[in-house]
Amino acid sequence: MTHANPRPLTLSARGPLRGAIAVPGDKSISHRAIMFSALAVGESRIEGLLEGEDVLATAAAMRAMGASVERGDDGVWRVHGVGVGGLLQPEGALDMGNSGTSTRLLMGLVAAHAITVTFTGDASLSSRPMGRVIEPLSTMGAEITASPGGRLPLMVRGRTPAIPIAYTLPVASAQVKSAVLLAGLNTPGITRVIEPVPTRDHSERMLRGFGAELTVEDSPEGKVISITGEAELQPQDIVVPGDPSSAGFWMVAASIVPDSDVTIRNVCMNPTRTGLLTALRMMGADITELARREVGGEDVADLRVRHAPLRAITVPPELAPSMIDEYPILFVAAALAEGTTVARGAHELRVKESDRIATMAAALSAAGVVLEEHDDGLSITGTGGAPLPGGARIASKLDHRIAMSMAVAGLVAASPVTIDDVSPVATSYPDFFATLDALSE
Structural domains of the chain, with CATH: 9-25+241-440 (3.65.10.10), 27-238 (3.65.10.10)
The C-alpha atoms of residue 240 and residue 425 are separated, in whole angstroms, by 20
Give yes or no for residue 152 having a pLDDT over 70.
yes
Percent of the chain with pLDDT over 90: 88
Per-residue pLDDT, averaged over 33-52, amounts to 96
pLDDT at 411: 97
Residue 411 to residues 90, 197, 258, 304, 407, Cα–Cα distance (Å): 45, 36, 10, 19, 7
At 68-120, the pLDDT tens digits run 999 999 999 999 999 999 999 999 999 999 899 999 999 999 999 999 999 99
Q: How far apart are CA 35 and CA 58, in angstroms?
A: 7
Task: Confirm or deny that 325 is annotated as ligand binding.
Answer: yes
End-to-end CA distance of the chain: 31
Q: Is 265 annotated as a binding residue?
A: no
pLDDT of residue 2: 43
Q: What is the pLDDT of residues 108-151, one digit of tens each?
A: 999 999 999 999 999 989 998 899 999 999 999 999 999 999 99
pTM of the shown model: 0.84
Q: How far apart are CA 181 and CA 284, in angstroms?
A: 39
Q: What 3-state DSSP class applies to 372?
A: strand
Instruction: Output b/e per residue, 179-210; b: 16+ Cβ within 10 A.
Output: bbbbbbbbbeeebbbbbeeebbbbbbbbbebb
User: Which parts of 81-150 are beta strand (E)?
Assistant: 94-95, 116-120, 143-147
Q: Is the pLDDT of residue 19 over 90?
A: yes
Residue 1 pLDDT greater than 50, yes or no: no
Kindly report, residue by residue over 230-239, the tens digit of the pLDDT.
999 999 999 9
Q: Is 27 annotated as a binding residue?
A: yes
* pLDDT tens for each residue of 367-387: 999 999 999 999 999 999 999
Residues annotated as part of the active site: 325
pLDDT above 70 covers a percentage of the chain that reads 99
Average pLDDT rounded to a whole number, residues 195-204: 92
pLDDT of residue 351: 67
Instruction: Give the tens place of pLDDT for each residue, 332-362.
Output: 999 999 999 999 988 888 867 779 999 999 9
pLDDT band at residue 407 under the 50/70/90 scheme: very high
One-character DSSP codes across 275-323: HHHHHHHHTT-EEEEEEEEEETTEEEEEEEEE----B--EE-GGGGGGS
What is the per-residue pLDDT for 354? 76
Quote the pLDDT of residue 4: 58
User: How much is the pLDDT for 259?
Assistant: 98
Mean pLDDT score of the chain: 95
100 is in an annotated binding site: yes
Q: Is 28 annotated as a binding residue?
A: yes
β-pair type (370-374, 377-381): antiparallel
Does the annotation flag 173 for ligand binding?
yes
Residue 60 has pLDDT above 50, yes or no: yes
The pLDDT of residue 348: 80
In this predicted structure, the answer to whether residue 327 has a pLDDT above a threshold of 70 is yes
Rounded to whole angstroms, the Cα distance separating 100 from 215 reads: 26
Kindly calculate the radius of gyration of the chain based on its CA atoms and give it in whole angstroms. 21
Amino acid of residue 146: A
128 is in an annotated binding site: yes
Sheet of 18-22, strands arranged across: 18-22, 261-268, 298-306, 286-295
How many CB atoms within 10 Å of residue 419?
26
d(CA 285, CA 288): 9
What is the tens place of the pLDDT at every residue in 249-306? 999 999 999 999 999 999 999 998 999 999 999 999 999 999 999 877 789 999 999 9
